[in-house]
């Protein structure tokens, strides 16, 4: 199966009119990140999935960028069906299997993805399904006020997404569709004569639709996350003839920091703090100073790599606290620029980044102006199953 190419399409083109939110619901925050970011990362971290296309509404490019950064996107159509078709066409032909997922179902487990992909060994498609447990009944005159007859629930299922398909089957079903607007993709493959497997769905996969769903989803998410806090510390030497990069900002000064990469001692301390929250070693583990490719490198990439390891596990960065220890330069005039740059790199709000400075009363190497030290603390939340 290693040569099998599996892609995913996330349908995120809706306007979210029913959610009561000012922004389309897929861009509304859930646990500090857009709902779409949860869906995207769940697919991205599954080892079988190599490509992801997000189908967005016209004019949602900036919202997408804010939610998940630079990802592959296409503009959807007037209906869900046309949006999925746009995603399928964007993938082209070099795909064997595709998962089609609604952005508004953020709690997607690897277990569900595994079951769907396994079913494609013998079927054209597969859908997650939950049996109906409640009694089903009509009302007497569609008035919603008087109970009418019950409907047999035997064999009835609620069908969720993602839905998985052999790519040629779903592409042909879409290109050849002549019926009424379908509510999902599996019925299109069935209508074209394909066989679609039922695999066990997941109550966590419920779609977020109404305002009350957000509160329930927040509670679900909170229940799965564990807070971690870790610290980082770094020192670099001040030397004449070097640029002074501090907190991702170039600061005019008569000396600069020398050493590994651009020697941004502040970003290095924060990177180590972030790596510490997931027990992922330290900056030297990931970017060895002995490796010439990191000479003079922009330390922003180290910071963003550490952040991606956390978000890739479904984690959330809550807060960064940095203390710079030096006599010169004065940090105050650059504090806001550093805070904004660090927040930008970590996709946080400026209020989630604290920058402090102190001297050592002219004592020690920092007091003599021989170097700058930085210490950082990072607080994150990571899913319970990733925290051990």
Read out DSSP for 56-108?
Answer: E-TT-HHHHHHHHSS--EEE--SSHHHHHHHHHHHHTTS-SEEEEEETT----
Q: Which is nearer to Mg ion, 33 or 268 (CB)?
A: 268
| 262 counts as binding Mg ion under rule CB under 5 A | no
Token pair for 262: 């651009």
Query: Which helix or strand (DSSP H or E) is residue 44 part of?
Result: helix 35-44
Q: Using CA atoms, how far apart are residues 278 and 380, in angstroms rounded to an integer? A: 9
* Residue 78 CB coordination number (10 Å): 9
Q: Which is nearer to Mg ion, 123 or 268 (CB)?
A: 268
Q: Which is nearer to Mg ion, 234 or 321 (CB)?
A: 234
Where are the alpha helices (H) located in 129-250, listed in sequence order? 167-175, 186-191, 211-224
Q: How far is the CB of 38 from Mg ion (least distance, A)?
A: 33
| 334 counts as binding Mg ion under rule CB under 5 A | no
What three-state secondary structure class fits 217? Answer: helix
Picking from 209, 193, 227, the residue whose alpha carbon sits closest to that of residue 160 is 209
Please identify, among the stretches 16-24, 264-272, 340-348, 362-370, the one whose residues bind Mg ion according to the rule CB under 5 A: 264-272
Q: How far is the CB of 368 from Mg ion (least distance, A)?
A: 19
| 46 counts as binding Mg ion under rule CB under 5 A | no
Q: Which of residues 204-243 bind Mg ion (CB under 5 A)?
A: 234
Beta bridge mates, 246: 249
Q: How far is the CB of 265 from Mg ion (least distance, A)?
A: 6
Q: Using CA atoms, how far apart are residues 164 and 128, in angstroms rounded to an integer? A: 9
Q: Using CA atoms, how far apart are residues 88 and 98, in angstroms rounded to an integer? A: 9
Q: Which is nearer to Mg ion, 97 or 236 (CB)?
A: 236
Please identify, among the stretches 3-11, 90-98, 265-273, 373-381, the one whose residues bind Mg ion according to the rule CB under 5 A: 265-273
Q: Which is nearer to Mg ion, 127 or 355 (CB)?
A: 355
Does the CA dihedral 92-98-103-109 come out positive or negative? negative
What three-state secondary structure class fits 358? Answer: strand
Q: How far is the CB of 84 from Mg ion (least distance, A)?
A: 47
Q: Which is nearer to Mg ion, 199 or 346 (CB)?
A: 346
Q: How far is the CB of 257 from Mg ion (least distance, A)?
A: 9
Q: What is the DSSP letter of 122?
A: T
CB-nearest residue to Mg ion: 268
Residues binding Mg ion: number (CB under 5 A): 2
Q: Which is nearer to Mg ion, 206 or 234 (CB)?
A: 234
Q: How far is the CB of 184 from Mg ion (least distance, A)?
A: 51
Distances (CA, A) of 43 to 21, 233, 248, 365: 25, 34, 31, 48
Cis check for the bond before 338: say yes or no (omega within 30 of 0).
no
Q: Which is nearer to Mg ion, 213 or 234 (CB)?
A: 234
Q: How far is the CB of 308 from Mg ion (least distance, A)?
A: 19
Q: How far is the CB of 273 from Mg ion (least distance, A)?
A: 13
Residue span 268-287 as binding mask against Mg ion, x where in contact by CB under 5 A, dash where not: x-------------------
Token pair for 323: 């203390």
Query: Interface with Mg ion by CB under 5 A: which residues?
Result: 234, 268
């Amino acid at each position: 199966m290693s040569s099998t190419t599996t892609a995913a399409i996330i349908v995120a083109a809706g306007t979210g009119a029913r959610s009561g939110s000012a922004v389309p619901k897929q861009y509304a925050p859930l646990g500090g990140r857009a709902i779409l970011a949860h869906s995207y990362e769940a697919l991205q971290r599954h080892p079988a999935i190599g490509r992801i296309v997000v189908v967005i509404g016209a004019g949602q490019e900036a919202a997408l960028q804010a939610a998940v950064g630079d990802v592959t996107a296409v503009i959807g159509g007037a209906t869900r069906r046309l949006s999925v078709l746009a995603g399928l066409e964007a993938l082209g032909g070099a795909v064997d299997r595709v998962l089609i997922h609604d952005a508004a179902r953020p709690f997607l487990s690897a277990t569900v993805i595994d079951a769907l992909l396994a079913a494609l060994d013998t079927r054209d498609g597969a859908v997650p399904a939950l049996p109906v447990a409640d009694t089903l009944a009509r009302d007497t005159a569609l008035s919603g006020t008087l109970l009418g007859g019950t409907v047999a629930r035997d064999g009835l299922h609620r069908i969720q997404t993602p839905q998985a398909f052999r790519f040629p089957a779903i592409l042909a079903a879409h290109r050849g569709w002549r019926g009424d607007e379908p509510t999902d993709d599996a019925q299109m493959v069935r209508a074209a004569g394909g066989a679609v497997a039922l695999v066990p769905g997941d109550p966590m996969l419920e779609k977020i639709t109404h305002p009350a769903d957000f509160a329930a989803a927040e509670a679900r998410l909170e229940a799965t996350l564990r807070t971690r806090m870790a610290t980082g510390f770094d020192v670099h030497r001040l030397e004449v003839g070097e640029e002074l990069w501090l907190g991702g900002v170039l600061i005019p000064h008569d000396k600069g920091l020398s050493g590994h990469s651009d020697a941004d001692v502040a970003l290095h301390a924060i990177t180590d703090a972030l790596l510490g929250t997931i027990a992922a070693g330290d900056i030297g583990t990931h970017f060895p100073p002995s490796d010439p490719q990191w000479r003079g490198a922009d330390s922003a990439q180290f910071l963003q790599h550490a952040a991606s390891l956390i978000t890739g596990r479904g984690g959330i960065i809550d807060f960064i606290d940095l203390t710079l220890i030096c006599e010169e330069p004065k940090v105050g005039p650059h504090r806001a620029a550093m805070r904004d740059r660090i927040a930008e790199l970590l996709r946080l709000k400026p209020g989630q980044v604290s920058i402090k400075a102190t001297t050592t009363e002219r004592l020690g190497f920092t007091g003599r102006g021989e170097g700058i030290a930085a210490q950082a603390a990072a607080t994150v939340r990571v899913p319970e199953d990733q925290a051990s």
